[in-house]
Amino acid sequence: MKAVLINKHLNIKQKRFWASVLLVQFFLFYCLSKSEVVISFCNRLFEDKKQFHQFIFSKIYFSVGDVLYVVIVLFLIIFIFNLFKKKKRQKSAISILIFFNIFYFIYQLFWGLLYFQSPILKQLPKEEITLNEAKSLSFKYLKLCIEDRENVEANKYGVFAIANLDEVKMAVLKNQNSLPTLFVQKKSTLINDFKPSLFRSVMSYTGILGYYNPFTAEAQYNSELPATFLPFTLAHESAHQLGFARENEANFIGFLIGKNSENKSLKYSTDLFALKSLLSYINETDPVFVNRILTHYSAGMRQDRKYDQIFRKKHESFLDTIFAITNNLFLKSNQQDGSITYSYFTEMLIKYERKEK
């Protein structure tokens, strides 16, 4: 009986210890996120490890990161289930706390602190953007998209189709080397580590286009996406692979990767993303103008837009709402403006175009 009490007391002490360590980690990494020296160190660490990780995991044809996530979830389910068993309750609780400590520490060191890098926006003009600038640019990108659409292939239904996705991937990697040094001082690995997600069917119902795995450096994408989304999604995820953690900055770097690409599919997808971002921004104050732009879409662009709408309608579900809420909370916890951060790309685009002039 005495041995049981001693063992119970030790288990309680261990739980308190690991819970305390986790709380200390939260506070410690919050403080470290304010230090330029620490952020610089994490940048160097990321640069050192990314080529190694991409080289190792690119040799495996499936997403190792996805398998890792599945294994983690299964173990957590087992540990949580054991919390309801009296004999295993204490050890399971300790195991869960130890896991979260290790997971959180590795995540912050490998990726989390990169959210606090100096923003790219500081390199762009300071003056506020105007609605007229957005409207003017929308005409420019409408014209580009009409031209792009003439140069890409379509399926038997007249919808844009990608003839060779591997060529798009290689174009993304190649274009990383020509990114302007004003915005990018990160090294390209030129390693093709883009992989279709094992969860693609679920992703279609959540609105997730792709994601980056900071533990394996793999870039996962939803292979079920309409072709209009896919090339730019690859460019966006490759920006994460370069070391740009913020979503708005990954969009901007993805745009720089694709905007002048010799690969026609990548260029069309990128220009179309820029056009849709501009129209979303304008639509908040002048929906009539947006409708007018939409009437000037070419026949091919209208077919693509119709197919995109059918795809979204087909995959509407409660999961989309749940993901939007959780993603919003995640972004806010990493020094981003929640879901608004995606429209923030428009400001970067307009200021970049202003700077180019």
Residue 181's pLDDT is 87
- Judge whether residue 325 has pLDDT over 70: no
Residue 100's pLDDT is 94
Residue 8's pLDDT is 60
Domain ranges of the chain: 2-116, 120-356
- Judge whether residue 264 has pLDDT over 60: yes
The mean predicted confidence, pLDDT, of the chain is 89
Token couple for 348: 């970067």
pTM of the model: 0.90
Query: Which long-range contacts link 59-66 to residues 24+ away (Cβ below 8 Å)?
Result: 61/195, 62/195, 62/198, 63/195, 63/196, 63/197, 63/198, 63/213, 63/216, 63/218, 63/220, 64/216, 64/218, 65/213, 65/215, 65/216, 65/218, 65/220, 66/197, 66/198, 66/199, 66/213, 66/220
The pLDDT confidence band at residue 340, using thresholds 50, 70 and 90, is very low
- Judge whether residue 342 has pLDDT over 80: no
d(CA 195, CA 294): 33
